[in-house]
Amino acid sequence: MTFIRTWLIRAVAAVLLIAATLVIGGALDARRRHPDLKPWHKMVPNDLTAAEMDDAFDFSRLLAREAEVFSTVDEVETAVAAEDRTPVNRFAAGSRAHHSQAGQNWNRTFELRPDTISGGALLIHGLTDSPYSMRAVAETLRQQGYYSVALRMPGHGTVPGGLTTVDWQDWLAAVRVGARHVRKQIGPDQPLVMVGYSNGGALAVKYALESLDRPQDPRVTSLVLLSPMIGVTPAARLAWWISRLGFVPYFEKAKWLDVIPEYNPFKYNSFPANAAFQTSSITLSLQRDLARVGKAGRLKNLPPILTFQSIVDATVSTTAVLRTLYDQLPANGSTLVMFDVNHRSGIEVFMRAEDRSHVARLFDREPRPFRRVLVTNSSPSTNDVIARTVDAGQLSIVDTPLGLAWPPDVYSLTHIALPFTPDDLLYGSDGEPSTAGLVRLGRLSPRGERSVLTVSTDTLMRLSSNPFFPYLADTIRAWTATPAAR
């Protein structure tokens, strides 16, 4: 027994030593690798929390608190040092990355109200993002007669430092406030749709699952998910432990996975470890909820789900969308739309085997309880695309030309591209880069010497708009027009 006890003590000590080495080593690496932190990294606004957003907290109070939070950003902008007043610093008034160049501060919660209301929608943006990313989908729904609210999640839209302390429970509490408000605006009988993009997709599904046991929360009629965050890499949790040393001034950079110039007016570029940890936490909680509700035989009570997902996605797990979510769904009218790679580009030979397997699995000879759609080349010799559809419970395939095509120089969609139109004023790829006004990030095509730019060419060259957005919009219109469309 003495030998076993000694062995266990040594094993635990070795594990603790390895863990401490990883944490301290990671903190030292962050100190060496990251540039000096700026005021927008160090400031943490007094944002909304789950503790204050109880069941009595209403939308008007949310907007009032949001206005208070944004006064903090005004303080940061007035204190920008001379060396930071670059043409593309979002916190420098008058720069091409300042929100004023867009005519409206889309970092804040906004509403779109149709002349005649036929339904309501709550739209939830993704991690480090802002309500700006929901503009095109919200307008699509407004044209459909839906009163829409694009909600700002706590910690977002202000300064990156806001994400160093936020919890996912704060986001979910805000979603509940928004859902109650939309239901109140549209009345008890109109359909209520929840739209979630990326991390917002996790929040939308989490809300729908929890509302099964919370009668005080409005039930949603259907969900629309864009690149939903159903699963992420577990490495995010190690980053969180490294960030715990950030309270020590010497290790303050340990709170950050990336410290990058803030050139985007409506999305943070710097990325705190806490943000990664919160996404990992909510996806784990979501997966536990799916397993629990499924075991109880209650997934049939979930609303139908329409999901748009790229076969290749560097941010979220496509496998989790397929297996963790859709493979668990009953026959409730759900649809999964997958965007294939551009087969004319010849990219397949460079793809990972797991990514190549998604299409084969989606269209294997097994019926599924949901409709499957693949947006893919009509043939390998053309950029023209079709929608290849298999209805729920069926095996027969129907190909429908979409009148759309891959841009010749694009080999796939990306995680960030799906909700943005090709002519989006910030992310759109149409037209030429302008020399004045808002910086056109989607129109950049950097080619030149290496080690010159302060931002990686991988980031700048990542596709940021969706050439198939007209199809996505038409599908959402059909989805919200009538249940028969499902």
- What are the residues facing 377 on neighbouring strands? 385
Q: Which residue is associated with the tokens 């606004």?
A: 45
Phi/psi class of residue 286: alpha, beta or left (left: φ > 0; alpha: ψ in -120 to 50)? alpha
CATH code for the domain of 409:
3.40.50.1820
Residue 71 lies in a domain: yes
Q: What pLDDT score does 22 carry?
A: 52
pLDDT value at 414 more than 50? yes
Task: Please give the model's pTM, rounded to 2 decimal places.
Answer: 0.91
Distance CA 257, CA 170 (A): 22
State percent of the chain over pLDDT 90.
Answer: 66
| Residue 296 domain flag | yes
Residue 152 lies in a domain: yes
Give me 200's structure tokens: 């917002």
Mean model confidence pLDDT for the chain: 87
The pLDDT value recorded for residue 233 is 67
Asked if residue 422 belongs to a domain, the reply is yes
Q: Is 182 exposed, middle or buried (0-12, 13-18, 19+ CB in 10 A)?
A: buried
DSSP string, 145-192: TEEEEEEPPTT-SS-GGGGGT--HHHHHHHHHHHHHHHHHHH-SSS-E
Check residue 359 and give its pLDDT: 79
Q: Could you report the per-residue pLDDT of 103-152, keeping only the tens digit for each?
A: 999 999 999 999 999 999 999 999 999 999 999 999 999 999 999 999 99
Q: Is the pLDDT of residue 452 over 60?
A: no
Q: What is the pLDDT of residue 429?
A: 86
Q: Where does residue 442 fall: left (phi above 0), alpha (psi -120 to 50 degrees), or beta otherwise?
A: alpha
**Do the Cβ atoms of 222 and 251 come closer than 8 Å?**
no
pLDDT band at residue 156, thresholds of 50, 70 and 90? very high
**Exposure pattern of 219-239 as b/e (b: 16+ CB <10 Å)?**
ebbbbbbbbbbbbbeeebebb
Q: How many domains does the chain have?
A: 1
Phi, psi of 257 (to 5 degrees): -85, -35
Q: What is the pLDDT of residue 485?
A: 43
Per-residue pLDDT at 5:
65
Torsion of CA 152, 157, 161, 163, to 10 degrees: 30
Above 80 in pLDDT, residue 205?
Answer: yes
Q: Which amino acid is at 264?
A: N
DSSP 3-state of 236: helix
Cα–Cα nearest to 486, from 98, 152, 144, 223: 223
Q: Tally the C-alpha atoms within 13 A of residue 220's C-alpha that lie toward its C-beta.
A: 31
Residue 343 domain-assigned (yes or no): yes
Higher-confidence residue: 155 or 433?
A: 155
In-domain check, residue 435: yes
pLDDT grade, residue 484 (50/70/90)? very low
Could you tell me if residue 205 is inside a domain?
Answer: yes
Most confident of 171-185, 229-243, 253-267, 318-332: 171-185
Question: What's the domain range around 479?
Answer: 34-485
Instruction: Look at residue 208 and tell me whether its pLDDT is greater than 90.
Output: yes
Q: Does 18 reside within a domain?
A: no
Tell me the pLDDT band of 297, cut-offs 50, 70 and 90.
very high
